[in-house]
Amino acid sequence: MPGLRAINKWIGFCLTVFCFLNCVSQSEDLLKHITSKEQLLNTRGLHVDIVTSERVLKITDSPKTKAGRWSWVGIPVTSEQYTWNTAEFVEATIKNEGKDPLKALLWVNSNKGWNSVADTLTIHAGETKTMRCHLRETFPDGTPKLNPNYVYEVQLMFDRPKAEVNASLLNLKTTGKVSEWKRPKGRLDVPEMTHTEPKGGHRVHYQLQNDPNSQLYSVLYLPNHWKKDSETKYPVIVEYPGNIFYVRNCYSTGRPEHCVIGYGMSKGDNAIWISMPFVNYKTGTIAENGWGNPNDTADYTVKTVNEIIEKFHGDRENMVVTGFSRGAIACGFIGLRNDTIAGLWKGMHTCQHYDGDGWGGADKQGAIERLQRLGNIKVFQTDNSTPELKELLSSVDTGVIYMNSGLKAHACDMFLDDRPSTMALRKWFNDLISE
């Protein structure tokens, strides 16, 4: 019947429009809960005023803080406050009210070892521009960067070697709607660092026993089944973090709590994992950039490792050093710096960079000298198969395994899933500590 066909077509059209509107209409104001600047706990080098009636943040340089290259303000957000699981984008509109061009980075950050997504652009004096982060962005191999259920912060950052910041964040919101996010099979969640007492399955802020008031700390994880009164000894993984570095496809804080490789290597089950800082005893601070003082960092590592082994049943005969980027270089530059620290290791794993590639003064000749301390230490390389490295390591008589992760990005996310390179690393580690 012609009339019935027309009605069915109309119903179909209405359903199509409804579904389309349902997919694109989701939008939430991410500033609606911000009523006081005291809520903005993660702020560096900036002064923020809140115009509550307009929901606008006025952002200028802080006269009290030397920011360094990057300055930022973090806006706290959680899955309890907002619908992240089906949101597609985060958008921010920023006006540059100063006289200098501003290179801005907008980040959406998730925790528990998941990564961040970003947008970057330059905003010239007097301009107003909108930035957009895609919440479903992936690495080149398709690995998701973000778990929307673990989003905790939207961070507006300025890369400003010389520029003065005078800007307004006019709005911040989610836009778009997509299907519900599905967790990749086998993906691990890394425990967050807490300021609590060490116990099994937890990751805590750890300071040396005789140095409780220092700014220096490492991050200690005890395996799931660890018991205080047990006599079981556990292998130890010591990890160095990458350098502070914020660009479109790399979010790296330079701090020990940002490490993830050790958890991926052990899956949290059979090893003590220590995330180490780079330190300078003279300033009493952690170096997010560079080595701090390399000799101090080596000394602090030895002191930390020895104390943790004694207090938490570490196995001195089964210790591995690992690191990413700056941390990968540090495995040799710090980890083989003298006979004392070199004598700790049974295995070494490095990812994306190596001692001798020239970064931070870690030149080839120095690396050759440090390699004389490698001895019988077994070596595993992830995304480090350059001819230069193979030539360097050919001078030492030790087993070396080279694996390509396929992630195709300067990041550590590959260690938290079950891809072939990670499975090979776990097997290497388990075989090593069983010898």
Task: Give the Cα separation of 295 and 271 in Å (integer).
Answer: 27
pLDDT of 19 reads 47
3-state secondary structure of 65: coil
Quick one: which of 182, 110, 113, 191 has its CA closest to 151? 110
pLDDT band for 67, please (50, 70, 90 cuts): low
> Do 233 and 272 form a contact (C-beta atoms < 8 A)?
no
The contacts of residue 130 (CB under 8 Å, 6+ apart) are 91, 92, 93, 94
Mean pLDDT within 191-198: 98
Q: Among 13-27, 181-195, 212-226, which is the least confidently predicted range?
A: 13-27
pTM for the complete prediction?
Answer: 0.93
pLDDT of 294 reads 98
More confident of the two residues 285 and 8: 285
List helix spans (H) across 61-208.
Answer: none
pLDDT of 118 reads 98
How many of the other CB atoms lie within 10 Å of CB of 125?
A: 13
pLDDT of 68 reads 82
Cβ-count burial of 137 within 10 angstroms (0-12 exposed, 13-18 middle, 19+ buried)?
A: middle
Task: Give the Cα separation of 255 and 287 in Å (integer).
Answer: 8
Q: Which neighbouring-strand residues pair with 95?
A: 128, 168
Amino acid found at 27: S
> Do 294 and 301 form a contact (C-beta atoms < 8 A)?
no
* All domains of the chain in start order, with CATH: 26-177 (2.60.120.430), 193-434 (3.40.50.1820)
Task: Give the Cα separation of 196 and 189 in Å (integer).
Answer: 19
pLDDT band for 26, please (50, 70, 90 cuts): confident
Mean pLDDT within 99-121: 97
Which secondary structure element, helix H or strand E, spans residue 380, and what is its range? strand 378-382
| Per-residue pLDDT tens over the stretch 323-348 | 999 999 999 999 999 999 999 999 99
3-state secondary structure of 316: strand
pLDDT band for 359, please (50, 70, 90 cuts): very high
Amino acid found at 316: R
Distance from the first to the final alpha carbon of the chain: 80
pLDDT of residue 16 exceeding 60, the answer is no
Percent of the residues in the chain that have a pLDDT greater than 70, as a whole number: 93
pLDDT of 161 reads 72
pLDDT of residue 18 exceeding 70, the answer is no
Percent of the residues in the chain that have a pLDDT greater than 90, as a whole number: 85
pLDDT band for 10, please (50, 70, 90 cuts): low
> Do 87 and 174 form a contact (C-beta atoms < 8 A)?
yes
pLDDT of residue 355 exceeding 50, the answer is yes
3-state secondary structure of 222: strand
Task: Give the Cα separation of 235 and 313 in Å (integer).
Answer: 9
CA distances for 280 relative to 72, 297, 331, 351, angstroms? 24, 7, 18, 24
The rounded Cα 184 to chain-centroid distance in angstroms is 19
pLDDT of 411 reads 98
pLDDT band for 17, please (50, 70, 90 cuts): very low
pLDDT of residue 299 exceeding 70, the answer is yes
- What mean pLDDT is reported for the chain? 92
